[in-house]
Amino acid sequence: MNDYLALVSKQRLADVLRELVRIPSVNPAFSGGQGEAGVADYVKRHLRALGLDVIVLPVEPGRENVIGVLPGAGNGNLLLEAHMDTVQTDGMTVPPFAGEVRNGRLYGRGACDTKASLAAMLIAVEAMKTNGLVPPLGIHLAAVVDEEATYKGVTVLADAVAKGRFVYEGAIVGEPTQLHVIMAHKGCVRFHIDVFGVACHSSHPSGGINAIEQACEVVAFLQRHAADVYPRLAHPIVGSPTHSVTMIEGGVAPNTVPDLCRITIDRRTVPGEEAIAVWQSMKRLLEGLQDADGPLKLAVHEPFLIDHSMEVQPESALVRHMRSAVGRYAPHGRIMGAPYGSDASKLVRAGVPSLVFGPGNLAQAHTRDEWVDLDEATTAAAIIMELAMQFRPSGS
């Protein structure tokens, strides 16, 4: 059996990751975001220099997914997917686009989330190609846009899968997991609740209805609901659903009783829950708080974001092969669940068994001194190579 770690150059991986970090790719949804075009061009050049075919999937003007194709010995394909965009750089204490290396760590925006995963995938494919290794399945390496905002990139890719343009036997979605393997994660539904009051002068508050105080009643109800209901919905791997009141907006002046207060809710769903059904249930409960003669009046708005939960069966071929690959090079790695979402859920809903995996610690993502350990990124590349060279779907 090949020692794939011996075929991965840590220095080469560091060089590629540094080049990726040096190309700003802040999502346009954030202040000053320039988008992913520079990274997309780099990935295309890298793949074409290896002699690989490159497929471009336009997402919107100036933004495109890039897919490199490494042919395999047989039919079918394994997808390696990582996003190119990052969050904003405000408040960073390290140069965000320098890619500095200190004490075995590479620093910069996106180094951890998730350019290290993208670099590990690029190096894994490069090592297979330059060493003449032919995997049993074709490898598609997809660098996609917009994971940090509204998932437009993976949505376009998943739509192409659903329409039969691409067929994948499995997928690895790059995110910082510390080389653990995420086989299930939560989803999310976000929506606004407007609570209404009656404005009046604050010197005579009984002459009106305070929308902020009424909103506090809504928040208290949601807390009681969570304590009573969520534990009964617990998933064995990802735990219980949760919700958070992430924003509260209300009031117009310090001497006016407010007539409107908006609450923003982030409700995390678990596998087995459908996000829209969760929202509909919460809407009915909240609307039921109103009394025709009571002061509480509210409106529950349609979700402004829905992201689905996902899970892959532990006995699947993808989990089995990934468990073996991780066990060889990262014995500490575990098969586990996660409370956050990723591109994987969109691929799973398109019929592609998908796991989340990559170097880096989520605790370092989006931070003021974001970094990734280069030894861990190198190990990730070896694990990806091992999986690519060993994975065959069930029955083949």
Residues 177, 232, single domain; the answer is: no
CA separation for the pair 333, 260 (Å, rounded)? 49
Q: What is the mean pLDDT of the chain?
A: 97
Residues 238, 142, single domain; the answer is: no
Residues 283, 318, single domain; the answer is: no
The tens digit of pLDDT for each residue in 25-70 reads 999 999 889 999 999 999 999 999 999 999 999 999 999 999 999 9
Residues 37, 172, single domain; the answer is: yes
Whether 291 shows a pLDDT value over 90: the answer reads no
- Residue 299 located in a structural domain: yes
* Banded model confidence at residue 353, pLDDT cuts 50, 70, 90: very high
Instruction: Identify the CATH number of the domain in which residue 230 sits.
Output: 3.30.70.360
The mean per-residue pLDDT over the stretch 272-287 comes to 97
- Residue 71 located in a structural domain: yes
Whether 163 shows a pLDDT value over 80: the answer reads yes
Closest CA to 5 of 375, 391, 392: 375
DSSP string, 235-260: BTTTB--EEEEEEEEE-S-TTEE-SE
The tens digit of pLDDT for each residue in 306-337 reads 999 999 999 999 999 999 999 999 999 999 99
Q: What is the pTM of this model?
A: 0.93
Residues 222, 296, single domain; the answer is: yes
Q: Judging by beta carbons within 10 Å of its beta carbon (0-12, 13-18, 19+), is residue 85 exposed, middle or buried? A: buried
The tens digit of pLDDT for each residue in 196-233 reads 999 999 999 999 999 999 999 999 999 999 999 999 99
Among 255, 278, 307, give the residue marking a domain's end: 307
- Residue 396 located in a structural domain: no
Query: Can you tell me whether residue 216 is helix, strand or coil?
Result: helix
Residues 177, 209, single domain; the answer is: no
Residues 333, 313, single domain; the answer is: yes
Range of the domain at 252: 187-307
Residues 129, 12, single domain; the answer is: yes
Instruction: Look up residue 362 and give its two tokens.
Output: 């989520």
- Residue 153 located in a structural domain: yes
Whether 188 shows a pLDDT value over 60: the answer reads yes
Instruction: Identify the CATH number of the domain in which residue 152 sits.
Output: 3.40.630.10
The mean per-residue pLDDT over the stretch 378-383 comes to 98
The tens digit of pLDDT for each residue in 94-149 reads 999 999 999 999 999 999 999 999 999 999 999 999 999 999 999 999 999 999 99
pLDDT value at residue 208: 97
Among 288, 307, 326, give the residue marking a domain's end: 307
Residues 161, 141, single domain; the answer is: yes
Whether 395 shows a pLDDT value over 90: the answer reads no
pLDDT value at residue 255: 98
Number of domains the chain is built from = 2
pLDDT value at residue 72: 97
pLDDT value at residue 367: 98
Residue with tokens 């994971």: 147
pLDDT value at residue 373: 98
**Separation in Å, CA 268 to CA 188, 221, 271, 281, 285:** 4, 17, 10, 14, 17
* Banded model confidence at residue 293, pLDDT cuts 50, 70, 90: confident
Residues 199, 282, single domain; the answer is: yes
Among 284, 307, 330, give the residue marking a domain's end: 307
Residues 33, 75, single domain; the answer is: yes
Residues 294, 364, single domain; the answer is: no
- Residue 395 located in a structural domain: no
Closest CA to 356 of 384, 382, 390: 384
* Banded model confidence at residue 2, pLDDT cuts 50, 70, 90: confident
The tens digit of pLDDT for each residue in 361-375 reads 999 999 999 999 999
Residue with tokens 């405000």: 90
